[in-house]
Amino acid sequence: MKIRISNLKLKNFKGIKDLEIDFNSNNTNIYGKNATGKTTIFDAFKWLFFDKDSNDRKDFNIKTLDSENKPIHFLDHEVEATLVVDEMKMVFKKILHEKWVTKRGQSEQEFSGHETNYWIDEVPIKKKDYEEKINSIIPESLFKLITDPAYFNNQLKWTERRELLINISGTTISDDEILNSKEEFKILKDNLDGRSIDDYKKVVVAKIKDLNKEKETIPVRIDELTNTLITEHNINYEEIEKQKEQYAQELQKVELEMTDVQTRAKENMKIAGELTEARQELSEFKLKKETEYSQKYSNDLINLQNEKRIAESTIRVKQDEDNERKAKIEQDQKRKEELYKEWDIVNNQKLEYDPNSFVCPTCKREYETDQKEEIKKQFENNFNTHKKTEQDAINKEGQSINARIDENTKVREKLQQEMQDANSKLENINNKIAEIEKAKESDNTFDVTSMPEYIDKDKKVKELEEKVKNLSNGDISGLQNKKIEITEEINKLNKTLNEREIQEKTKERITELQNEEEVISNKIQALEGQQYALEDFTKTKVELLENAINSKFELVKFRLFDTQINGGLVECCDTLVNGVPYADVNNAHKILAGLDIINTLIKFYNTSAPIFIDNRESINEIYNIDTQIISLIVTTDKELRIGEK
């Protein structure tokens, strides 16, 4: 389809009182200095067909202004264009008319708004039919693409540009074809599991994020365990084992000597045996309780640290949810205020009758009074029905918002109570940790000798010692004292060796965490390998698309991905003019780039329409495009001058 302008008429449009241009469907140059109305011609053309100006703005002033920059009233603002659509002429006209009314009891007219009237081939037509007719000739979106050299690069989002370019290229490259093109993509085929490439990208990113989050917690846990290790001095446990063995041998020797002495009398042996057992039982009880206390101290601290992390995590999660609920409530409350205003607007709407509604469109005569009343009644019914429908819709939305606000408020109250409970629990845990830390500093709060069970056992030992003293000679007391000294030394060594067991378990747990960190790092590395393969996949696909797309253009080329500093790929759609990004070239090259794109679009859609080129004076030559070109050229002419190329 070819669309060309044959004639354009403007009356009282943005300062142009009366202007008619005969284009004769040819390329046309429009000359004039700045502010003489060159762009106004393009504004008028766009307003006639799409209610917008050349900058695609719907809200712009088309009225003629006086010397004080105020609109001149009682003027009709009119644009009429004769188009040649595939050799068939069509005339479109639109007039913006001010409405003035004289209220009862007043002599002066008051401004009551605007009305817009439409004609096609001199036949009055409703706005809806007018717009449908234009859209049937050329949709607004396509019109913008093939008439404005700047529209493609300045108005479309990069995703929209890329989608359009892919359609133009006619290239259909399936993901399976690319997956089978390289051995490196086998890892993707094995892991897609029915998902699309884009969905799998999201899966990989989410997994890497979760693993990194998990990995970040491990060094903290290792530090906490490391702080429980004894670091004040290096302990040679092998040397301590040797010392214990030596003391054990000495103890055995003393016990043999004591046995020899005690063999003098059967009773003495029996009592001595009971004394040895009692002392051993007392020593073992003391060692057991001290060991249990030491282990309990370390275990309690580790357990409390774990509980603290869980409590802090719970508080953060609930705080985030509370903030989210609060934001939703604020958003709903804001919407409620908007609904109140909408209700007032709808409720205050008044029915105004269009005088033309009471005139027969065929014979142009007013209807009879009865027929007028019937039409008014129909208007009133339609108006009231529409008004009630809007009010019901507002009420329904308001009820839905109230329900959401109530629900979110209840959830917030519950969350705040749960956060309060969690904070109380956290405070309790911190207090317990502080108590244990304080106990660690003093390390003298535990006294096994004050325990009732220890006192009973010690009492039994002393009673047996008294018996042995009375039954044996003085030699055995020396042996007993020596045995006690040796036993105490062995107990001290055992205590140190028992601490070694706790230390070794802590070290084992640290090693486990380090291994766990390494496993997570390996998983992350494997996923990053898949991420690299996904980027290579995207790059391969985009390169194929780029080649197919760029073959359709002469001047411009397109870059569909950008390489970041870290080597990653980011999808984009950048226009390059002779290898230079579109944003960095001068205005002339931007126009030439836009014309190159339009030339391809015209071929693709098999549709052309007039191209308006503003600042045409910056270009020496343009492409030979099979469409009508209207050039707006800045010169020293004080008034508009029209000329064919």
pLDDT on residue 197: 78
pLDDT on residue 11: 94
**What does 580-629 look like in DSSP terms, one character per residue?**
EEGGGS-HHHHHHHHHHHHHHHHHHHT-B-PEEEETGGG-S-----SS-E
Whether the pLDDT of residue 226 is over 90: the answer is no
8 Å CB contact between 175 and 533: no
Strands of the sheet containing 77-85, edge to edge, are 16-22, 3-13, 77-85, 88-101, 110-120, 123-125
pLDDT above 90 covers a percentage of the chain that reads 21
Distance CA 599, CA 607 (A): 10
pLDDT on residue 20: 93
pLDDT on residue 266: 59
Residue 172, amino acid: T
Token pair of 153 as six digits: 């690069």
Q: Which residue has the tokens 């019914």?
A: 381
Residue 288, amino acid: K
8 Å CB contact between 2 and 85: yes
Token pair of 33 as six digits: 């200095």
CA distances from 412 to 36, 310, 532 (A): 63, 21, 43
In the beta sheet, which residues pair with residue 123? 120
Closest-CA residue to 429 (of 315, 507, 318): 315
Strands 123-125 and 110-120: antiparallel
Q: Which residue has the tokens 């019109």?
A: 143
Strands 88-101 and 77-85: antiparallel
Strands of the sheet containing 580-581, edge to edge, are 556-563, 569-577, 580-581
Judged by average pLDDT, the poorest of 124-133, 243-252, 271-280 is 271-280
| CB half-sphere exposure, 226, CA atoms < 13 A | 11
Helix (H, G, I), strand (E, B) or coil at 181: coil
Q: What is the pTM of this model?
A: 0.50
Token pair of 95 as six digits: 């007039």
What distance, in Å, lies between the first and last C-alpha atoms of the chain?
23
Whether the pLDDT of residue 471 is over 70: the answer is no
- Give me the torsion for CA of 470, 476, 482, 488, rounded to 10°: -50
Distance CA 91, CA 81 (A): 6
Give every CB contact of residue 542 below 8 A, 6+ residues apart in sequence. Answer: 560, 561, 571
Judged by average pLDDT, the poorest of 28-42, 183-197, 209-223 is 183-197
Closest-CA residue to 250 (of 486, 497, 478, 495): 486
Token pair of 635 as six digits: 């010169």
Residue 379, amino acid: F
Token pair of 235 as six digits: 């302990």
pLDDT tens for 393-431 read 989 988 998 999 999 899 999 989 988 998 998 899 888
8 Å CB contact between 325 and 318: no
Whether the pLDDT of residue 70 is over 90: the answer is no
In the beta sheet, which residues pair with residue 246? none
Distance CA 466, CA 278 (A): 13
Whether the pLDDT of residue 474 is over 50: the answer is no
Which alpha helices (H) appear in 149-265, and where do they start and end?
Answer: 151-154, 158-169, 175-179, 186-192, 197-226, 237-262
pLDDT on residue 230: 64
Whether the pLDDT of residue 120 is over 90: the answer is yes
pLDDT on residue 441: 66
pLDDT on residue 27: 86
Token pair of 487 as six digits: 């036993």
Distance CA 484, CA 458 (A): 13
pLDDT above 70 covers a percentage of the chain that reads 93
pLDDT tens for 320-378 read 988 998 999 999 899 889 988 989 888 888 888 777 777 888 887 887 888 888 888 88
Q: What's the pLDDT band for 232 if we cut at 50, 70, 90?
A: very low
Give phi and psi for 127, each to the nearest 5. -55, -45
Judged by average pLDDT, the poorest of 208-222, 381-395, 471-485, 554-568 is 471-485
Q: What's the pLDDT band for 9 if we cut at 50, 70, 90?
A: very high
In the beta sheet, which residues pair with residue 614? 632
Helix, strand, coil percentages (3-state) for the chain, rounded to 5, are 60, 15, 20
8 Å CB contact between 33 and 634: yes
Give how far the C-alpha of residue 146 lies from the chain's centroid of Cα atoms, to the nearest Å: 35
Strands 77-85 and 3-13: antiparallel
More confident site: 130 or 277: 130
Judged by average pLDDT, the poorest of 159-173, 416-430, 601-615 is 159-173
Distance CA 642, CA 30 (A): 5
More confident site: 66 or 20: 20
Domain boundaries, the chain: 1-138, 265-471
Q: What is the mean pLDDT of the chain?
A: 84
pLDDT on residue 231: 53
Average pLDDT estimate for 13-24: 89
Q: Which residue has the tokens 């799409």?
A: 50
Please tell me which of 287-301, 347-361, 524-538, 595-609 the model is most confident about, judged by mean pLDDT: 595-609
pLDDT tens for 80-96 read 999 999 989 999 999 99
Distance CA 47, CA 336 (A): 36
pLDDT on residue 268: 64
Q: Output 246-255 pairs: Cβ under 8 A, ≥24 positions apart.
A: 247/486, 247/489, 247/490, 247/493, 248/490, 250/486, 251/483, 251/486, 251/487, 251/490, 254/479, 254/482, 254/483, 254/486, 255/483
- Give me the torsion for CA of 302, 303, 306, 310, rounded to 10°: -160
CA distances from 485 to 250, 286, 481 (A): 11, 15, 6
pLDDT on residue 249: 86
H or E element, residue 371 = helix 369-442
Judged by average pLDDT, the poorest of 49-53, 71-75, 247-251, 621-625 is 621-625
Give every CB contact of residue 297 below 8 A, 6+ residues apart in sequence. Answer: 436, 439, 440
CATH topology of domain 1-138: Rossmann fold (3.40.50)
Q: Using alpha carbons only, give the angle 15, 16, 19 rounded to the nearest 5 degrees.
A: 175
Distance CA 509, CA 257 (A): 46
